[in-house]
Structure 1
Amino acid sequence: SDSSVAMFAATGEPARIVPATIIGGGLAKGLAAMNPAGTDVVLEPWQTVASHGLPSGPIYVCTRNDELEPFIEKTPADRRKDLVFFQNGMLDPLFQKYGLQLNPSNPNASTQCLVYFAPGPKPKDNVTDLNPEGLTAAFGRHAESLARRLKSADLSCKLPDEAHFQSMMLEKLIWISSFMLAGVKNGGVKIGDVEENHASDVLVLIAELLASCRLARGHW
């Protein structure tokens, strides 16, 4: 495996779960359940980090994408670097707007997680034939503490370098976009149906999107 894509491994010692402020729906509850000490604070929709959140530590943001900007606006400027984003897609424009770029040289760098597990009472790692070790990855200020939390629930979490994280982010965005568009084109069928019956549509879309990424990003 590539040395720049590390897997967080158990050390034989109990994982120290860093208390977090958490906002969102099902995924938020799942993340809180991974901390049996109960030291997290799960915010209600009407609560804010300033009024009800912990004074320090990661802030797990599990809201919809269209709720991100209002949430950032309501978060004190000195706490925004603690935001950990779990949304799909390219969040770079939003990060740039608020100075939260993931670049390690940025003193206000935030954290992003690419989620490949199903939340629930017993979270399930989504693995593939090509990636039996799991696909979830995190990068940024609180990536390692998040990986410890996920590991405590028997979930994998890769800790890639910046360049590999960007590639993994684009890979997930292309995958989601291709399967969703192919599903819509063929009558709103589910992902399993797309994979089984409409793979040719997916391959065409992947090729088009990958070509666009190469032109826009200058790599891949």
Structure 2
Amino acid sequence: MQVWSDQRPRLEYFEYLEKGAKKLEDDQKSIIVGDGRIGSLLYELGGENDIMVRRGDTIPDEPGPVYLCTRNDSLGEIIEKCPENKKDDLVFIQNGYIEPVLQKYSLPEDVTKANIYFAVTEKGAVPIDGVTEECPDGMTTATGRWSEAFRQRLKKAKTPLKCIVQNKRDYRRSMYDKLIWISAFNLIGSVHGNITMGDVAKRHKKEVKEMVGEMRHMCRASLAVVLFPKLEERLLQYASKVDFFPTALKEFQWRNGYFYNFSQIARENGFDDPTPMHTAYLLEGKEMGLIDWVHER
């Protein structure tokens, strides 16, 4: 009933029909903020005309997209230092739920965002794409003005990386896919001794399916977001593709904290916890000393 009474899906659909397809920009000279693994990759694929900017530096007032390849907690400072006329050129490439930051700084509704499903083990390493049996076209997605430019740039890799350009409505579903993956797999792997993603997928598949299932149900019941089919299978296959990645509980407020806040709000108002397994594992992780952010509101 919560889904039926939520008008957002209907309004987003009519908004999509009314606006029609917007012109998307092609790849061109770009500004890269952050020289880590992802920033260095995009800079390498762009050629010598790109401008590399490090955290704390001012974003130059130059044409083209501004790829933000930094940690989430750096976003506020970067946005504040960004020239006003460049804010609609920002491209957010972060894991986790960053919508509150975008809203806080009143960024344009169609600001470009990307979910990346490829792994770069170290600077200069050949990236491993998230192409799986369930997702032969890859799992990386992007939306917004510079989404096509991002797709074209990834295609320039020695082994071309795949990227699907989506409308805002479908991208929102993809964003929750990735949020669930990075939250559930890291949490399960951490409480089992910081094992790898591959070990989580192979040895703890039952736990994965249960936790992902309750998160998927929460998205539908509480947020009116119906995720794409075969979520558990898709996420398990991707974890097997990047099986060497270690698990860890990081950036809590942007990842697991999102689901934990919903659990807190539900209990405070007399409702059942929508993600009880997730909450139980978090509290176990707290007892193990893996995180110290979890606390009662």
Residue from 31, 38, 63 that aligns with 2:42 = 31
Q: Distance in 1 between matches of 2:89 and 2:222?
A: 29
Q: Contact 1:21/1:54 (CA < 8 Å) preserved in 2?
A: no
Structure 2 partner of 1:134:
138
Instruction: State how far apart, in whole Å, the 1-side matches of 2:107 and 2:145 are.
Output: 11
Give the residue type in structure 2 aligned to 1:87. Q
* Structure 1 unaligned regions, length at least 5: 5-15, 103-108
TM-score scaled by length of structure 1: 0.83
Instruction: Report the Cα distance in structure 1 between the residues aligned to 2:45 and 2:117, rounded to whole angstroms.
Output: 16
Aligned length in residues: 196
Please tell me the root mean square deviation across aligned C-alpha atoms, in Å.
1.7
Equivalent AA in structure 1 for residue 81 of structure 2: K
Does residue 42 of the first structure (1) align with residue 52 of the second (2)? yes
Considering Cα pairs closer than 8 Å and 6+ residues apart, tell me whether 1 or 2 has the greater RCO: 1
Q: CA deviation at 1:151?
A: 1.3
Shift of 1:211: 1.7
Per the alignment, do residues 84 and 99 of structure 1 end up closer, same or farther by CA in structure 2, a change over 3 Å counting? same
> How far 1:86 sits from its partner (Å)?
0.5
Q: Gaps spanning 5+ residues in structure 2: where?
A: 1-15, 17-25, 227-297
| 8 Å Cα contact 2:88-2:108 kept in structure 1 | no
Q: Is the 8 A contact 2:139 2:163 kept in 1?
A: yes
Provide the rounded CA distance (Å) in 2 between the counterparts of 1:176 and 1:150.
22
**Higher relative helix content:** 2
- Report the structure, 1 or 2, having the larger strand content: 1
Q: Percent identity?
A: 37
User: Matches of 1:218 and 1:46 in 2, distance apart?
Assistant: 38
SS in 2 for 1:204: helix
State yes or no: 1:212 paired with 2:218. Answer: yes
C-alpha distance in structure 2 between counterparts of 1:169 and 1:133, whole Å? 17
Alignment of 1:152-191 (within 5 A): 152-153=156-157, 154-191=160-197
What stretches of structure 1 move > 2 A for 4+ residues in a row?
Answer: 118-124
Contact 1:41–1:54 under 8 Å retained in 2: no
Deviation at 1:216, TM superposition (A): 2.6
Pair 1:71-2:82 in alignment: no
> Can you list the C-alpha shifts for 1:66-124, whole angstroms capped at 9, x where unaligned?
1111111111222111110110122211111112254xxxxxx3111111112344333
Name the residue aligned to 2:103. 96
Which residue of structure 2 lines up, in the alignment, with residue 10 of structure 1?
A: none
Partner of 1:193: 199
Amino acid paired to 1:64: R
Matches of 2:39 and 2:61, distance apart in 1: 15
TM-score (norm 2): 0.63
Deviation at 1:152, TM superposition (A): 1.7
Aligned to 1:149: 153
